[in-house]
Amino acid sequence: MRHFEYARAESSQQAIAAHGSDRAVSSLAGGAAYLAGGTTLLDLVKLDIMQPHKVVDINGVALDEIERLDDGRLRIGAMVTNTALARDKRVVENYAVLSQALLAGASTQLRNKATTGGNVMQRVRCPYFRDGVSDCNKREPGSGCAAIGGVNRTVHAVLGTSDSCIATHPSDMCVAMIAIGATVVVQGPEGSREIDFADFHLLPGDTPAREHALEPGELITHVVLDAPLEGSRSGYLKLRDRQSYQFALASSAVIVRMDGNTIREARVAMGGVGTKPWRAPEVEAALKGKAASEAVFADAARLAFQNAIAYSQNGYKIPLGQQAIVRNLVDLTELADLTTA
């Protein structure tokens, strides 16, 4: 049995001071870790994958509010639960894609505990990372990636992969947020700063153990969503092996603003297929100004996967990911037509 020191913080400053900022030690190898909902951390501690010497409980830190800012953006405290965020009236009305993505993830019990900040910080569900014995560069840098030549059907990517890691990012919420556009606000030993959501999660490259842009000791305090796109419709479509409590094989978060049958603006992101939440600007550019049709959608969706790399068991994700984009666009533009008819 491993032992760790426990500290409970009442403010972000207390939490950061208790955590420390040792660059040489990660929570995988004995560093400190922040505890929010615990739905990832406690799971990995029990599996002995994460081995923190100190756990800093931030449940006493007042970061559980959702606020509309004067410029129309929505500021979400890091401790807001996934359930509270999904059910918030402002989210349901102005960011339907986010509400749908949250409700598509995990289970009711987990959503009641999981937090916004914790969801952003989710660890991969690759079984080779979690078994504690297989070669895994994310867990043990330099050991190799067993997934590349092993079982890679479900939680492994076709976009953003490298010779060091092919694990998908598991979050549904993050796919919606990168489609909306957002900023991650963090506080650390050197003060506060903001990170564009698109830059927060890192591609594996040669250093898959570094998954995000946080510096040692930094704490996520808020996620700020861009102002909603006026006159738009949005939706999240998740394709998976079963309808509940299952990670995406492919998903799409789509926001469209229509003028009659013409797409004036589109935002498209994908989950289940990339090593990070995956925005598809090439798809967005191909859709802009076009008359809505399934053929146009299909041509645009193919562009998202022009640089995809299929592995031994997950090549089906390329056409499935395209279908996720097309089906979502068809649904959203048909709804727009009904509204303007």
Domain presence at residue 186 = no
What is the structure's pLDDT at 24?
Answer: 57
Q: What is the CATH number of the domain that holds 330?
A: 3.30.390.50
Number of helical (H) and strand (E) elements in the chain, helices listed first: 13, 12
Domain presence at residue 288 = yes
From CA 167, how far away is CA 319, in angstroms rounded? Answer: 19
Domain presence at residue 31 = yes
Amino acid identity of residue 16, one-letter, is I
Query: Measuring CA to CA, which residue among 89, 142, 84, 78 is closest to residue 108?
Result: 84
Domain presence at residue 28 = yes
Contacts of 43 (CB under 8 A, 6+ apart): none
Query: Domain range for residue 292?
Result: 232-340
Q: Residue 317 CA to chain centroid, in angstroms?
A: 18
Domain presence at residue 291 = yes
Query: Measuring CA to CA, which residue among 253, 232, 272 is closest to residue 325?
Result: 253
Q: Which of 59, 88, 103 is the last residue of a domain?
A: 59
What is the structure's pLDDT at 30?
Answer: 72
Q: What is the CATH number of the domain that holds 36?
A: 3.30.43
From CA 41, how far away is CA 34, in angstroms rounded? Answer: 9
What is the structure's pLDDT at 6?
Answer: 97
Q: Which residues pair with 236 in a beta bridge?
A: 253
pLDDT digits (tens, 9 = 90+) for 104-127: 999 999 999 999 999 999 999 999
- The answer to whether the Cα torsion of 284, 214, 171, 166 is positive or negative is positive
Question: What is the count of structural domains for the chain?
Answer: 2
pTM of the model: 0.96
- Burial code (b: 16+ CB inside 10 Å, e: under 16) for 264-279 equals ebbbbbbbbbbbbbbb
What is the structure's pLDDT at 340?
Answer: 44
Domain presence at residue 45 = yes
Tell me if 123 sits within 8 A of 114, measured CB to CB: no
Domain presence at residue 153 = no
* Rounded average pLDDT per 10-residue block, the chain, 341 residues: 93 97 65 96 95 97 98 98 98 98 96 98 98 97 98 98 98 98 98 98 98 97 98 98 94 98 98 98 98 97 98 98 98 67 39
Find the length of the chain. Answer: 341
Domain presence at residue 93 = no
Query: Measuring CA to CA, which residue among 104, 107, 113, 58 is closest to residue 84?
Result: 113
What is the structure's pLDDT at 32?
Answer: 96
Tokens 């984009």, residue? 325
From CA 305, how far away is CA 273, in angstroms rounded? Answer: 10
What is the structure's pLDDT at 25?
Answer: 61
